[in-house]
Amino acid sequence: MPLASIPSPSQGVWYLGPIPIRAYALCIVLGVIVAVWISERRWRARGGTPGTIVDIAVPAVIFGLIGGRLYHVITDWQLYFGDRAPNEPYEALFIWNGGLGIWGAIALGGVGVWLACRKRGLSLGAVADTVAPGIAFAQAIGRWGNYFNQELFGSPTTLPWGLEIEPGKAGTIEGYTGLYHPTFLYESLWNVALGFLLIWVGKRFTLRHGRLFALYVAGYTLGRFWIEGLRVDPVGGVDHAVHFLGLRINQWTALVLFVGALVYFWATRNKETEEIVVSPSADPSGGVTAAEQAPPAGEEDSAGSERNDDEDKAPDGEGDGKAQAVPEEEKS
């Protein structure tokens, strides 16, 4: 019997009269709020118009939730369809029961961001670089929703931080009453570290045109690959996970995205086109004029806070609402 362990919560939903308050949903909402707050401050520090990230977040979240659920249902279709499905087909819509694939959320959420940026005339790469750390922190918070749902745990372990899981939960071993790896916690801690690393890299180096976002993708998938290998929940199946060439579905997804992110990071190393961070139709009375420009990424503070008044003023004759080309010696 282990001397220490992490107990699972006795419930993941509370009722306010007839209204259910679900921990999973609360974690998702809190993650979104934190991501928007951090990203909004970072965007203003780049010279962007206040409120832009809040506006962009609306379609991004809507598209992201749809994409995340679609990925889950497609890769775990046997949970809802087929003779052995433990759930009814209509339960595929019950997002509050858990089941959001981050791969689908980022992909379709990115479509929402692209549409919003196109409408405002903003550079997608600039927005992506700005929100990258916030997304990592949001994922770190969202993973705790899996803790309340007692899902996304790993293989059996005797470590003192092993997780207690109720017998009979999907992925548990029949007859086994010991502890499991808390993979939700591993991924949460990994994402927190990744978020701070991205902030530091953004301050230390001049990364533009989506290159910081590419580092986020590479960093997240690197951690997700090995954490996914610890999991025992039946992704893609009913009572066991589907494997291809010895790897789980999500491991293959992580591997492909990791390589793709590194290829993009390398391919755009010499890209010097200007980035628009203030909409050409922005109202100058909003506190940020169209003549303001994005400073080098290194001028952002650790949380993406605004620059002081002196830094907010663009040099006379140089502002045009676009980021200036980075000198050759300043690129990384």
Candidates 118, 41, 158; CA nearest to 280 is: 118
Residue 174: predicted pLDDT: 75
Dump pLDDT digits (tens) for 226-276: 898 888 876 554 455 666 788 888 888 899 999 999 999 999 988 888 888
Lowest mean pLDDT across 17-21, 82-86, 130-134, 240-244: 240-244
* Whether the predicted pLDDT of 323 surpasses 90: no
Distance, in Å, from the CA atom of 45 to the CA atom of 95, rounded to the nearest integer, reads 35
Residue 34: predicted pLDDT: 96
* Whether the predicted pLDDT of 318 surpasses 50: no
Whole-model pTM over 0.75: yes
Task: Tell whether the torsion through CA atoms of 154, 159, 162 and 167 is positive or negative.
Answer: positive
Supply the DSSP symbol for 9. Answer: P
- H or E element in which residue 14 lies: strand 13-16
Q: Using 50, 70 and 90 to split pLDDT, how confident is the model at 6?
A: confident
Residue 98: predicted pLDDT: 65
Count of beta carbons in the 10 Å neighbourhood of residue 104: 23
Give the chain's largest Cα–Cα span.
74
Candidates 136, 113, 129; CA nearest to 43 is: 129
* Whether the predicted pLDDT of 309 surpasses 50: no
Dump pLDDT digits (tens) for 96-118: 666 777 778 888 888 999 999 99
Residue matched to tokens 């789980």? 248
Higher-confidence residue of 234 and 32: namely 32
Residue 170 amino acid letter: A
* Whether the predicted pLDDT of 136 surpasses 90: yes
Residue 242: predicted pLDDT: 65
* Report for 73-87, 104-118, 208-222: range of highest mean pLDDT: 208-222
Can you tell me the mean pLDDT for 137-142? 94
Count of beta carbons in the 10 Å neighbourhood of residue 263: 12
Percent of the chain with pLDDT over 90: 35
Return mean pLDDT, the chain. Answer: 79
Helix (H, G, I), strand (E, B) or coil at 331: strand
